[in-house]
Structure 1
């Protein structure tokens, strides 16, 4: 009799920026992927629609919603691992619609945990965010840094993290939490600063509209973040299960200096115009984030493979392609 095919892995949020890159990497590593895309009446698969046919031949797209327990149960049944990336992520929109963030980021995570628990899935990788730390109190920021949620988005993500911790402690759910610092690269939404700047320049603007230029961030190229997901998803359970891991470069750059660097890479002189709509409430702005990823490196051997400049060059090339740029609305404030 022929050997049975290995069990697939499931990815929630597969249609998004990081999710679509993770699907690609999982297929390249030999996995079949069951990819949840949020149900929509357009039958849109998001960024998965741009992946090569040879990748999508190994992907089963499931339209569903992490807010619905039945959708999640069906998605993860029979899988060997679940990568939970589905989330509402835009910080400005969390000021407008906080209930939506709790429903997706907290209740949605609860639904994933419950499904993994009851179906006995061997590994769950839960996605956190560096925003849960708030402005750095000590640098670099290790996983022992206090949690200080300065936006409804950050609070909802911290709520999901605490649920994940509790399900491991209470029910021995084999969950590992990855807490990426700021990820960037091709396919990212223009609600984030790097595609906002590059997209405006690629669209012909030379005066860039932004919010506060003072905050510093630790930017990781998306392929490095995806490598971190794979590292914690495949490492021996004894090394990672029940633990939280930061992923980041350990280097920080201010938004203002980032704009100058992008201008240099794009060979363009840029001016910046402040837009009050893009500035967070004063007590909600996270002023400094810089990562200590030594725990992840010790447990899995992971390390970033791309410099900021290398990642920016790849991102610039993506946005300079008219087909890619045409998928965005570069002339508006993307909340």
Structure 2
């Protein structure tokens, strides 16, 4: 199949490109290489997908450009049997500083993609949303009927993204699915996340820094579970028109996460605390009953196993991945 992936040089998009190319599909990636973090990580994502394509006999094509370019998006979607929309301006704190930019990429860019899909009618359109749409919890875990009261411009933009996706299914019969991801982690993840900061500091003999009191809780979802559900949606139409949580159900508070990382690397280190960061949700916790019912989705990697796997990968790739090593 011909598969188009926006944001395909990023963390999740790069893993999807590698997976699909490694299964013999013809993959085209669109990415604007926004310098939001070290672009060398995106280069590694591209290399991994290119190698997977070469090994499996598929093809991999990289188009540099933005989802805000409607003509370029149209060209991408026109050749695709399936579209995976992963492109977005990420980062809660970035969205607090530049809400208009986040809206331009995440909302207007998504409309460009959905309009192109309406014209060219691919078999499947899978759109990435986020647990950030929930914001302040009235109850936990969040199910999809929980009120959506995002506490950051990023969360608002993702709520608009998924609702436009739903509307295009209802009005135009576009075969869409929107997935609400819950804190995805794993190899080649963005280096400015809590887990990567904890690992990096501990490997350098420095205490992990917790912003706030550490009572904030998160579902951390390993990248392999995200790849699996996206791959299933390539041919499974059971969830067409739906918005679904994709999480781990393995909820952990940030203080405990810091301790798990610390204990894997250097149990002698103390924990440090900093001021809370504006716009961060206090809690996320996924109810995955809907994804389980429609797709049989079950997470396979618990947080302690996932942390150990990520630390092993980090150590093996520290020379190019770790910002303190790279900039020394």
> What TM-score, normalized by structure 1, do the two folds share?
0.89
SS for the counterpart of 2:25 is coil
The answer to whether 1:25 aligns with 2:19 is yes
For 1:241 and 1:53, the matched residues in 2 are separated by 30
Deviation for aligned residue 1:233: 3.1
Per-residue Cα deviation, 1:220-272 (whole angstroms, up to 9, x for no partner) = 1111111121223321x2x2110011111212110000011111222433322
Contact conserved, 1:129 with 1:180, CA < 8 A, in 2?
yes
SS at match of 2:271: strand
The 3 A distance-change label for structure 1 pair 208 and 49 is same
Which of 286, 291, 308 aligns to 1:291? It is: 286
C-alpha deviation, 1:219, in angstroms: 0.7
- 1:93-123 Cα deviation digits (max 9, x unpaired): 1111111100100001001100100011111
Give structure 1 stretches of 5+ with no counterpart.
Answer: 1-6
**Cα deviation, residue 178, structure 1:** 0.8
The secondary structure found in structure 2 opposite 1:82 is strand
Question: 1:84 — aligned with what?
Answer: 85
Asked if the contact 2:49/2:60 (under 8 Å) is kept, the reply is no
Please give the secondary structure, in 1, of the residue aligned with 2:31.
strand
Alpha-carbon RMSD across the aligned residues, in angstroms, is 2.2
Show the 5 A alignment for 1:99-114. 99-114=100-115
Write the deviation string for residues 261-311 of structure 1: whole angstroms up to 9, x where unpaired. Answer: 1112224333222233xx223xx3311111111111111122112121221
What secondary structure is seen at the aligned counterpart in 1 of 2:231? helix
> Does residue 1:209 correspond to 2:217, yes or no?
no
Unaligned 5+ segments in structure 2 are none
The yes-or-no answer on 1:182 pairing with 2:177 is no
How far does the alpha carbon of each residue in 1:21-51 deviate from its partner, in whole angstroms, 9 at most, with x for none? 111221233322111121579x975332441
CA separation of 1:325 and 1:158: change in aligned 2, threshold 3 A: farther
Partner of 1:313: 308
Contact 1:190 1:199 (C-alpha < 8 Å) held by counterparts = no
Q: Given that residues 30 and 62 in structure 2 are in contact (C-alpha distance below 8 angstroms), is that contact kept between their aligned partners in structure 1?
A: yes
Q: Counterpart in 1 of 2:258?
A: 259
Q: Paired residue for 2:235?
A: 234
**CA shift at 1:325, angstroms?**
4.4
Whether the 8 Å CA contact 1:215–1:254 is kept in 2: the answer is: yes
Where does 1:135-174 land on structure 2 (aligned, <5 Å)?
Answer: 135-174=136-175
Distance change (3 Å), C-alpha of 1:17 and 1:325? farther
Residues 8, 258 of structure 1: alpha-carbon distance in 2 compared, 3 angstrom cutoff: same
Could you tell me how far apart the structure 2 residues matched to 1:208 and 1:331 are?
17
> Against the structure 1 CA distance between its residues 304 and 163, is the aligned structure 2 distance closer, same or farther, given a 3 Å change threshold?
same
- C-alpha change, 1:52 and 1:249, in structure 2 (3 Å) is closer
CA distance in 1, matches of 2:31, 2:280: 31
- Residues 172-192 of structure 1: per-residue CA shift (max 9 Å, x gap): 111111111111111111221
**SS of alignment partner, residue 310 of structure 2:** helix
Structure 1 CA distance for aligned equivalents of residues 43 and 157 of structure 2? 24
| CA apart distance, 1:330 | 4.1
1:3 alignment counterpart: none
Given candidates 44, 47, 55, the residue that maps to 2:44 is: 47
Match of 2:126 in 1: 125
Kindly indicate whether the alpha-carbon contact (under 8 Å) linking 2:19 and 2:49 is maintained by their aligned counterparts in 1. Answer: no
Q: Is the partner of 1:61 in helix, strand or coil?
A: strand
